[in-house]
Amino acid sequence: MSAATASAGIVELLPPDRVLTGEAASEWAGGRDVGTVLFPADTNEVQALVRLANETGTPLLPAGNGSWLGAGGWTRDGGAVVSTSRLDSVVHYEPADLTLTAGAGLGWRKLGAVVEPNGQWLPVDTPGVGAGTLGGVAACGVPGPLSGRYGAIRDNVLGLEVVTGDGRLLRIGGRVVKNVAGYDLVRLFTGSRGSLGVITRVSVRLFPRPGADVTVVFGGGVGEALEVARVVRVTSLPVAAAEMVVRGTGDETGRDAELAVRVLGGRAEVDDVRARLVAEVGTGPEGTMRGGEGEAFHRERTAWEGRSPIVVRMTALPDRLAATMGWAGGGAGRTRGEIAADVLGGVVRVKGLSVDDGIAGIAATLTRARSELEAMGGTLTLSRAPREVAEVAGWTGGGGGGGALARKLKSLFDPRSVLLSKCP
Amino acid sequence: MIPATLTKSLVEICGRGGVIVDEERLLVYESDALTAYRHRPGAVVLPRTTAEVQGAVTAIARHGLPIVPRGAGTGLSGGAVALDRAVVIGTARMNRILEIDAANHRAVLQPGVINAELSAAARPHGLYYAPDPSSQTACTIGGNVAENSGGPHCLKYGVTSRYVTGLTVVLPDGSVAKLGGQGRDAPGYDLVGLFVGSEGCFGIATEIEVGLLPLPEGVRTLLGIFDRIEDAGRAVSDIVSAGLLPAAMEIIDGPTIRAVEDSVFAAGYPTDAEAALVIEFDGVEAGLDEEAARAAGFCRRAGAREVRSARDEHERMALWKGRKKAFGAMGRIAPDLLVQDATVPRTTLPSILKGISEIGKRYDLVVANVFHAGDGNLHPNILFDRRDEDELERVERASKEIMQLCVDAGGTITGEHGVGLDKKHHMPLIYGSAELGAMWGVRRVFDPAGVMNPGKVLPEETAPEWTANGEEQGAAEPVAAAVAAP
């Protein structure tokens, strides 16, 4: 059944050139049938939309560029996606302060173009970041491999402007790097996946781009790569990130793994760390990438999930990586999937599962893996999934805690459940 | 004095040694390190376990008394002061490190563990706990969680909230919630991040999971001596603009230097200098000398008359001494000290320092500045004598003007000390009624009955009105506010 166009009242709030319906809306949403997409141009329009949605009972699904629409929200008949992609101006950027404030719709690449000439960056390598917006990345709040070194996005968002689900406009936090005035609502809204409000403006902390960016790649079978990963995990050397990708099909012996270890810092430091790391590992690397070559490699890695319809995210303590990978391999092996593992963070992602493998089979595999992971304190979350899979397998298990508190917070900021997004 | 039945219940829960009702012994708990606010609690309870905290919270709430959580009492905002004879739940006896999981760079501990002791315990594993508030030899991790504490090395490593990955908390209704845990990627709302910095208003953290870092292989510490504080500020900006990321950059101004050098903490800083800038780099040995040399060059080009560098740990401690002992040294000059804690955008530091100096002169007050220059976190300290009523009034007016100056520059009223009792009436300087109403709402989610640390953080006049069935009726009259654009 296709999603119907949103109610006339909501659509009429914006000029026709900022409303998409039918096939145009689906095309914008990467083939998903979303019914209507609205493009407000400023915070006032977002607030007006949300307020009218409350009055008319129209469900809304907040989005940036729409690259995470498969992550837990669907429009319902008469509802609409609200994209903040037109709120894309840089409001304040003072390079010497290493802070930037911009509209939520500022594209990630445009952000890079603004700050890179000053030798700065926002070191976030969350999945899919390149196609996203600043607000979308903040709303999703997913840590990437670099978060051990620089903190996750939630550690680097300094302030937010948000239209809450009931239409209140909040300006929380600020644009200074240390701020403990009042409760940390910035952390609550960052990573809340648009389930509490629509983020319209974001202030972030930037970092100086290190003088040297070197990536050392180790190859081999999964077992060998896991041993290199173990050495990288326990070393006292300052490794910025380490990510393993397992490709291939069939059983584990037929797979090949590639472990990319990223070292950032001054040139002398990076060369020293690279040499000592290779000595500690005891196996020669397949290659070393420097500068632009390495950056392009990591850009490609952030796009690893691509448009894969089902992506599963498993977490456990990093020293249990082999076990987590084992479950991931069990699921992926049966379903021709691929695996990416953040070695230092203990996060394992599986993609390539297909509904053709049977929803019941996928759900059973995920449920079993989830219960084993949770038994050792881990979690299994669906990062992206078709509705029918998510409804059977569940977005998440009991991890994270605070279920009753979370429900009350949702009710506080979105009492009429106007916002359709789910925060797993 | 609390009702005898409550005393009996608390003794049953925590043992006789865990309950203090003696008025003289309660005196110890009448203030935190901001001694301007003094209120004696009705009683103090010192539980040892989550279950005992749960029992104590339930018993106190049943008697309708407010609860004030307390760590070591080193806070600087009056946050641990017991208004209205509230019962203090102290974490002093919850001081066990439950686990050091070296393989995963994490530790699980009770809230009463002292910050520096965690790093000491982690050291044999080659690890340490990064947030290092100046009071780290006395303050507790539970207190750090409540205040989202910072410290000099947060410039490179970030504040407490970055390192807390899981919490077991006793909520104000006596229930226990486990939030996050087992690393950094828990699904759902970031309730751990929301709880950190909630200043004891959301509940009591009884078990805390934190991340640890590998000890840096090497450290280089520099001390730049300047004749003008603006030059020191420019050196800081130049170092940051050049892409260097020191672990710490701290400035102490002329009045502070002279206070230190006149005290038992004399560190050998020249007393005619107007600023001393401590810069520290850490990491692998390779490249550290080069980074330190570049930073020293920036200091000299900015006008430093002298740049010293430490050759060993002993010399490093000597360079840091003036900074670390600054607050202690000021006690010699005046009986009372008001420690401010504003953060401003780093580029505004020179004009803000000038403005603070002018405010001090206008009110005829001695203002001594110590600050985390790298992240714009200022600590203007106003020296005074509370017995002089006229001076006290001038201090209050100057203090408010300094805060307004920092807010007007795009800053905030507190960078690391918290709001507590001291700054709650300044919250409308940075937040409007919508933001304050939202904070009241979140507080109510955790504490519908309002029993946990009442009277702190949020000004009562900004509380929304609630219907009998718990629905918000809308905020009270809007407060006049200059809302800071995020």
Structure tokens that stand for A259 in this block: 């472990």
CA atoms within 13 A on the CB side of B185: 27
**pLDDT surpassing 60 at residue A254:** no
In tens, the pLDDT along B299-347 reads 999 999 999 999 888 989 888 888 888 888 888 788 888 888 999 999 8
Sort out which chain B residues have CB atoms less than 8 A from A346's CB and list them.
104, 183, 185
Per-domain boundaries in chain B: 4-90, 97-214, 218-333, 424-474
Find, in chain B, the residue whose alpha carbon is nearest to that of A183: B198
Banded pLDDT at A223 (limits 50, 70, 90) = confident
Count of beta carbons in the 10 Å neighbourhood of residue A113:
10
Distance, CA of B334 to CA of B429 (rounded, Å): 29
Nearest to A139 by CA among A68, A190, A212: A190
Torsion of CA B250, B323, B248, B205, to 10 degrees: -120
Mark yes or no for CB contact A269/B286 under 8 Å. Answer: yes
**pLDDT surpassing 90 at residue A34:** no
| Facing A168 at nearest CB: one of B410, B434, B445 | B434
**A101 and chain B in contact, CB less than 8 A:** yes
| For range A186-190, the mean pLDDT | 97
Phi, psi (degrees; rounded to nearest 5) at B93: -90, 0
Sort out which chain B residues have CB atoms less than 8 A from A382's CB and list them.
none
Cβ–Cβ < 8 Å for B190, A141: yes
Kind and range of the H or E run holding B383: strand B377-384
CATH, domain range A90-208: 3.30.465.10
Architecture, CATH, for domain B4-90: 2-Layer Sandwich (3.30)
Listed as ranges, residues in chain B with pLDDT below 50 are 475-486
> In sequence order, what are the beta bridge partners of A220?
A257
* Helix, coil or strand: residue B91: coil
Distance, CA of A242 to CA of A147 (rounded, Å): 11
- What is the least distance, in Å, from the CA of A23 to any CA of chain B? 33
Kind and range of the H or E run holding B11: helix B4-14
Helices within A122-248 (DSSP H only) = 134-140, 147-150, 153-156, 185-189, 222-234
Which 191-230 residues of chain B touch chain A by CB within 8 A?
191, 193-194, 196-198, 201-202, 214-215, 217
Mark yes or no for CB contact B177/A155 under 8 Å. Answer: no
Which 89-118 residues of chain B touch chain A by CB within 8 A?
101, 103-104, 106
Mark yes or no for CB contact A174/B486 under 8 Å. Answer: yes
> Which position has the higher pLDDT, B316 or A47?
A47
**B319 and chain A in contact, CB less than 8 A:** no
DSSP conformation class of B32: -
Residues of chain A with CATH 3.30.43.10: 8-83
Class of domain A307-393: alpha beta
Cβ–Cβ < 8 Å for B164, B208: yes
Banded pLDDT at A1 (limits 50, 70, 90) = very low
Distance, CA of B327 to CA of B26 (rounded, Å): 26
Phi, psi (degrees; rounded to nearest 5) at A157: -85, 120
> In sequence order, what are the beta bridge partners of B253?
B275
- What is the least distance, in Å, from the CA of B240 to any CA of chain A? 7
| Facing B413 at nearest CB: one of A181, A269, A316 | A181
Structure tokens that stand for B300 in this block: 């000299």
CATH, domain range A210-303: 3.30.70.2190
Sort out which chain B residues have CB atoms less than 8 A from A268's CB and list them.
286-287, 290
CATH, domain range B218-333: 3.30.70.2190
CA B303 to chain CA mean position, Å: 32
Nearest to A325 by CA among A229, A196, A232: A229
In tens, the pLDDT along B416-471 reads 999 999 999 999 999 999 999 999 999 999 999 999 999 999 999 999 876 555 56
Cβ–Cβ < 8 Å for A201, A87: yes
CATH topology of domain B97-214: 3.30.465
Mark yes or no for CB contact B190/A191 under 8 Å. Answer: yes
- The domain A8-83 is placed in CATH, from the list 3.40.50.300, 3.40.50.1010, 3.50.50.60, 3.30.43.10, at 3.30.43.10
**B253 and chain A in contact, CB less than 8 A:** no
Banded pLDDT at A73 (limits 50, 70, 90) = low
Which 389-428 residues of chain B touch chain A by CB within 8 A?
410-419, 423, 427
What's the confidence (pLDDT) of residue A401?
A: 53
ipTM here: 0.95
Read off the pTM: 0.95
What's the confidence (pLDDT) of residue A424?
A: 57
Structure tokens that stand for A209 in this block: 């781009």
Helices within B40-111 (DSSP H only) = 50-62
How many helices (H) and strands (E) chain B has is answered by 16, 20
DSSP conformation class of B194: H
Cβ–Cβ < 8 Å for B124, B201: no
